[in-house]
Structure 1
Amino acid sequence: MTGLVVVGAGGFARETAQAVRDSGAFELLGHLDDNPGLHGTDVDGVPVLGGTDLVHELPGAQVVVCVGNPRDYAARARLVRRFGLPEERYATVVHPTAVVSATSRIGAGSVLLAHCVLTAAVRVGAHVAVMPHVVLTHDDVIEDFATLTSGVRLGGGVRLERGAYIGSGALVREGTTVGAWSQIGMGSSVLADVPPGEVWVGSPARRLREAGAPALDALATETPNAPVGGPLT
């Protein structure tokens, strides 16, 4: 069985580690985290082996990067860029209770947690985080580094551009696009296209402000559809 390391030791990383255990698809080797206070400890019974650069000293291990939070949801992209690993080093983790249709596709490094559903012809890029009870319906396209937190529902034909962050319980109307590195607040209802690099909240969702500096930096330094998981159509 192939070994796997989870980069990060926060909430998302811990949930992913448990999904790995539940799936039985990999041998879970441990967490890698740059907090030296965690090195040599156990998190939920999973050892923290050391800092993130240990990925280069474990060439036989698969990797999944599970970092980021609402204040810095570009962290996953920065780490992947820093590592410079080939795509085949990255694992795709799917919880056994997730429902993925035969016509849907999931990119390298992405994580689907418990009870999420991909109904028909859904395209999920690389390094995408899909939290529990997310529903992605027909023809949705989720680009690289997007984050969908728990309870998100997308109508058919929605496109989440690179790095978009969708807060818990948000609803996105069919045929709508959320721009690159934009953030949708929890519980919001998105009824119209959202431009890149903005924060929208409310029901119906409206512009609140520009996204935070980490997201704007990612938007400024990355080319659209940069080739991490390849173009999604």
Structure 2
Amino acid sequence: MSKRVLIIGGEGNGGVISSCVEDMRRNHNIYEFEIAGFLNDFVSDNDLIHGFPVLGRTSDVKKFVQQGYYFIYAIHMIGQGKMRRELFFRLDIPEERLVTIVHPHAFVSHNVELAPGDFVMANCYIGPGTKIGKCTLVMANCVIGHNDNIGGFCHFSAGSTTSSYVTTGEASDVCLAASVIEKVTIGNYSVVGANSLLTRVLAIVKSG
């Protein structure tokens, strides 16, 4: 029986996640997940996002937990990592109700550690020994090298490349087509700009 999944977010990252799950079901006969709809604070109830209904607000999470739904957290604002991380914890979603979605055309090494709520889109490569924290989104055509330690709530935009032995803090963004060389440390809530090359430590900020 498929897990009924609610996407917390909107048409951007949420749309990507819904299309990934639909492709898994329609073209790969993978029925582990079924998108039931969205929770969104800015779109009216019963309106559609990419063909899926908005069933409520983020404040309705507890009600849907009681009804047996699962969740994936797709809220993302570039440069607002602290805000998206704090919002997630206010929602108080039980960890066992977060789904981890990996498209079958992604390569994820056998000993990669993915956390609850992670999402990996098609044509990605994640190398051996890498650990990725909860609710991190890895969009299409990304490379994340071996032995990386990626914090939770990070976002890797399409086409970005992160080399090996890289450490990132919480809720950081590696933007479109950006590259991060090996053995670099990226702090909490940092932004690696689109099409940039990161060659040294990027500001370290404590959580909280």
TM-score normalised by the chain length of structure 2: 0.90
Residue in structure 2 matched with residue 31 of structure 1 by the alignment: 38
* Distance in 1, Cα, partners of 2:77 & 2:23: 24
* Structure 2 counterpart of 1:49: 55
Which of 159, 174, 178 is residue 170 of structure 1 equivalent to?
A: 178
CA deviations 1:140-167 (Å, max 9, x no partner) are 1111111111111111111111111111
Task: Give the secondary-structure state (helix, strand or coil) at the position aligned to 1:29.
Answer: strand
Query: 1:172-214: CA deviations, max 9, x gaps?
Result: 11111111111111111111111225xxxxxxxxxxxxxxxxx
- In the TM superposition, residue 118 of structure 1 has moved relative to its aligned partner by 0.7
TM-fit CA distance, 1:99: 1.1
* Superposition RMSD in Å: 1.5
- SS of the aligned residue for 2:38 comes to strand
SS in structure 2 opposite 1:105?
coil
Q: Residues of 2 paired with 1:119 and 1:74: CA distance?
A: 27
Task: Report the AA paired with residue 5 of structure 2.
Answer: L
Do the aligned partners of 1:66 and 1:76 also contact (CA within 8 Å) in 2?
no
Alignment of 1:153-164 (within 5 A): 153-164=161-172
Deviation of residue 5 (structure 1)? 0.4
Alignment correspondent of 2:28: none
Aligned-residue sequence identity (percent) comes to 26
Unpaired stretches in structure 2, ≥5 consecutive residues: 25-30
Q: Equivalent residue for 2:137?
A: 129
- Kept in 2, the 8 Å contact 1:68–1:75? The answer is no
Give the aligned partner of residue 6 of structure 2: 5
Paired residues, number: 199
Deviations 1:95-135 (A, max 9, x none): 22211110111101111112111121111110111111110
For 2:22, give the aligned amino acid: R
> Match for 2:46 among 40, 57, 62?
40
Structure 2 counterpart of 1:206: none
Contact 1:10 1:67 in 2 (8 A): no
Matches within 5 A, 1:63-78: 63-78=71-86
Query: Aligned partners of 2:82, 2:50: CA distance in 1, in Å?
Result: 26
CA contact (8 A) 1:138 1:156 kept: yes
Question: C-alpha distance in 2, partners of 1:168/1:74?
Answer: 20
- In the other structure, the counterpart of 1:204 is none
Residue-by-residue CA offset, 1:72-100 (whole Å, 9 max, x unaligned):
23343122211112211111111222111
Provide the rounded CA distance (Å) in 1 between the counterparts of 2:15 and 2:157.
Answer: 15
- Inter-partner Cα distance in structure 2 for 1:98 and 1:58: 30
Q: Which residue of 2 aligns with 1:145?
A: 153
1:182 aligns with 2:190: yes
Q: Secondary structure, in 3 states, of the residue corresponding to 1:28?
A: strand
SS of residue matched to 2:81: coil
Amino acid in the other structure paired with 2:71: V
* Kept in 2: contact 1:67–1:75 (CA 8 A): no
Distance 1:174 1:56 in 2: 41
Q: Is the 8 A contact 1:158 1:175 kept in 2?
A: yes
Against the structure 1 CA distance between its residues 71 and 159, is the aligned structure 2 distance closer, same or farther, given a 3 Å change threshold? closer
Q: Secondary structure at the match of 1:58?
A: helix
